[in-house]
């Protein structure tokens, strides 16, 4: 058996152009089939994937641009809102200052009015007190005169009488 396999091996060791040609044609057919059924669809899928990725990148760039624009708009709106809030605060402070000044002016005017009213009342009461004192002095004078008329007094008696009436007037108040 060993000798027969050597013979077959020796016979196959020669250059056989038919086999090479057959294998070459088979290889070319295989390449054509692979190109038509495997390579073409595979390249189509790769092309679709490339287009899909490019579309996703473009969409991401567009979204990024829109987000950046929205961010800038939000920042602008925030600045405007802060400016408006600051303006409202300033207006409120000014209005508060104006109201405070008005209240202070009204309070001062009311205090001045009350002060004048009190002065008038004090003046009236003073005049009433002076009138009352004048009445008392007049009545005392009449009383002293009537007593003097009733009796003639010495200087010491007159002084004593005056001091008594002054004490009575002081106690009568």
For residue 87, give both structure tokens.
Answer: 């303006």
pTM: 0.40
Tell me the average pLDDT across 121-131.
Answer: 90
Per residue in 12-44, pLDDT (tens digit) is 556 789 899 999 999 999 999 988 888 888 888
Q: What is the pLDDT of residue 5?
A: 45
DSSP string, 130-159: HHHHHHHHHHHHHHHHHHHHHS---HHHHH
Query: How confident is the model over 72-99, as a mean pLDDT?
Result: 94
Query: Is residue 8 very low, low, confident or very high in pLDDT (cuts 50, 70, 90)?
Result: very low
pLDDT of residue 10: 46
């Amino acid at each position: 058996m060993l000798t027969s396999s050597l013979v077959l091996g020796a016979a196959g060791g020669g250059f056989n152009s038919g086999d090479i040609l057959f294998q070459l044609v088979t290889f070319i057919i295989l390449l054509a089939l692979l190109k038509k059924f495997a390579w073409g669809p595979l390249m189509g899928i790769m092309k679709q994937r490339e287009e899909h990725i490019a579309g996703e990148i473009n969409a991401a760039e567009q979204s990024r641009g829109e987000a950046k624009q929205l961010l800038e708009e939000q920042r602008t709106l925030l600045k405007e809102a802060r400016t408006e809030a600051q303006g409202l605060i300033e207006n409120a402070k000014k209005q508060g200052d104006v109201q405070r000044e008005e209240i202070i002016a009204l309070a001062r005017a009311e205090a001045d009015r009350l002060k004048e009213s009190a002065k008038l009342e004090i003046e009236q009461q003073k005049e009433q007190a002076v009138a009352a004192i004048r009445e008392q002095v007049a009545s005392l004078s009449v009383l002293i005169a009537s007593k003097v008329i009733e009796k003639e007094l010495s200087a010491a008696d007159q002084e004593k009488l005056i001091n008594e009436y002054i004490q009575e007037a002081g106690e009568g108040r």
